[in-house]
Amino acid sequence: MTDTPPPFRPKVAVYAGSFDPFTHGHADIMRRSLAFADRVVVAVANNINKKPLFTAEERVAFIAESIGTESRIEVRAFNGLLVNLARELGATMLVRGLRAVSDFEFEYQMALLNRHLHPGLETVFMVPSNDTTYISSSMVREVARFGGDIGALVHPTVARALAERFASGPV
């Protein structure tokens, strides 16, 4: 009698954030996470406290452009607790990008809180590429608001949307 091999269980990682807007730094982390996950779900937080510049639908559409034809990555919006989404998806990992030491305190607290809420869930911190590590959504918004060139920092679709949003001056 031969042993039946255990069924293949894809490793699912969730890469959640506000992504307002999605930058080349986010895209770098998203793609790097395929090194240890079979499926990556980019999760756009809908109910963030901050008032976003772009709606969740717009942010999802920008990320979909960035994903292109990569079938191992998908994007969706979510409401409520991230751990509940992770449970729903059968995810075992949360991916977060760490750019600088200043990110660490909040990230550490969030990782511990999420593990408290869902003990089977591990947070994996990833370091972005050298050329994207300085990019943040808030700085991209700020530069675009005052007409600066953000062409090298975000996908062309995002750059166009930012230009349109601020076409009549800073809002």
Distance separating alpha carbons of residues 89 and 3, to the nearest angstrom: 29
CB under 8 Å to 149, separation ≥6 — which residues?
Answer: 143
18 touches ligand PNS by CB under 6 A: yes
Q: In this complex, which beta carbon is closest to ligand PNS, that of residue 59 or of residue 162?
A: 59
Catalytic residue flag (residue 137):
yes
Of these residues, 18, 33, 66, 137, which one is catalytic? Answer: 137
CA distance readout (Å), 129 to 73, 126, 134, 170: 19, 10, 10, 30
**One residue of 27, 29, 42, 45 binding ligand PNS per CB under 6 A:** 45
User: β-pairing, 122-126 with 73-78?
Assistant: unpaired
Of these residues, 18, 24, 26, 96, which one is catalytic? Answer: 26
98 touches ligand PNS by CB under 6 A: no
Contact, 43 vs 82, CB < 8 A? yes
**Closest distance between ligand PNS and the C-beta of residue 1, in Å?**
47
Catalytic residue flag (residue 99):
yes
Structure-token pair, residue 83: 């751990």
12 touches ligand PNS by CB under 6 A: no
Sheet with 122-126, edge to edge strand ranges: 73-78, 39-45, 12-17, 93-97, 122-126
Q: In this complex, which beta carbon is closest to ligand PNS, that of residue 108 or of residue 147?
A: 108
- Active-site positions read 26, 50, 99, 137
- Residues of this chain that bind ligand PNS (CB under 6 A): 16-18, 45, 48, 81-82, 110, 113-114
